[in-house]
């Protein structure tokens, strides 16, 4: 089992990154690939999941994010794709608070999470998240110049990879076109807030 990979981010795609570790490129699926920067030296915390016909590496910016992913996977009805869609929301402290406060409506805003699954998440995790020290992320900074549309396009591809419908994405894209955000990660974060 891998604990983490330390290397250079050589590629960023809508649903994964490639981490070069001493000449070997590892494909790592992440909740928000655009939280990383191409060419950056980074430590990516890893969860390896082996199934009958595939082996997948899931990557996280922090160890706490990895622990939250593992806890979500322990919930009946939550698989890796659903857990990543939940973690794509940068407000992990809000997620933890929603679980602790029995806030079903907050959880049902994620793709693939219905009322029954949201209740199961709360039931299974309500008393198991105290050790996670998530803090509210800083507000997204606004850039002083308009960025190329390609960053918005990358953000929309990342949101689609998380399972949001085309209808939802079209509405969000219209709103995001009027924004002047710092980078693709900021567009993804703003898009997730609008989708919720």
Local structure of 16: helix, strand or coil: strand
For residues 85 and 103, give the distance between their C-alpha atoms in angstroms, rounded to a whole number: 18
- Residue 132 is predicted with a pLDDT of 67
Enter the DSSP assignment of 142.
B
- Answer yes or no: is pLDDT of 144 > 60: no
- Residue 82, burial from CB neighbour count under 10 angstroms (0-12, 13-18, 19+): buried
CA nearest to 15, candidates 1, 27, 6: 27
Q: 9 or 154, which is more confident?
A: 9
**Residues paired with 142 in a beta bridge:** 181
> For 46-55, 60-69, 109-118, 162-171, which range has the lowest pLDDT when averaged over its residues?
162-171
* CB-based contact 159:195 (threshold 8 Å): yes
For residues 190 and 85, give the distance between their C-alpha atoms in angstroms, rounded to a whole number: 14
Rounded to two decimals, the pTM is 0.69
- Residue 135 is predicted with a pLDDT of 38
| Residues of the chain above pLDDT 90, percent | 43
CA nearest to 65, candidates 106, 36, 103, 26: 36
**Residues paired with 7 in a beta bridge:** 42
Which residues are within 8 A (CB) of 128 and not within 5 positions of it... i.e. 6 or more apart? Answer: 71
Express each pLDDT in 180-189 by its tens digit: 887 888 888 8
What average pLDDT score do residues 35-53 get? 94
* CB-based contact 195:168 (threshold 8 Å): yes
CA nearest to 195, candidates 80, 58, 89, 45: 89
> For 20-29, 93-102, 125-134, which range has the lowest pLDDT when averaged over its residues?
125-134
* CB-based contact 179:190 (threshold 8 Å): yes
């Amino acid at each position: 089992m891998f604990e983490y990979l330390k290397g250079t981010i050589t590629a960023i795609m809508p649903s994964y990154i490639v981490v070069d570790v001493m000449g070997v490129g590892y494909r790592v699926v992440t909740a928000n690939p655009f939280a990383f920067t191409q060419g950056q030296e980074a430590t990516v915390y890893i969860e390896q999941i082996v199934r009958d016909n595939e082996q997948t590496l899931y990557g996280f910016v922090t160890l706490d994010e990895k622990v939250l992913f593992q806890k979500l996977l322990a919930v009946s009805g939550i698989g890796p794709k659903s857990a990543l869609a939940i973690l794509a929301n940068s407000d992990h402290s809000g997620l933890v608070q929603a679980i602790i406060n029995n806030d079903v409506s907050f959880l049902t805003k994620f793709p693939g999470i219905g009322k029954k699954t949201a209740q199961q998440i709360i039931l299974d995790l309500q008393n198991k998240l105290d050790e996670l020290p998530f803090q509210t992320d800083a507000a997204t900074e606004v850039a002083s110049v308009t960025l190329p549309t390609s960053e918005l396009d990358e953000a929309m591809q990342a949101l689609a990879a998380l399972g949001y419908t085309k209808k939802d994405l079209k509405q969000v894209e219209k709103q995001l076109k009027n924004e002047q955000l710092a980078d693709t990660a900021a567009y993804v974060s703003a898009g997730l807030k609008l989708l919720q």
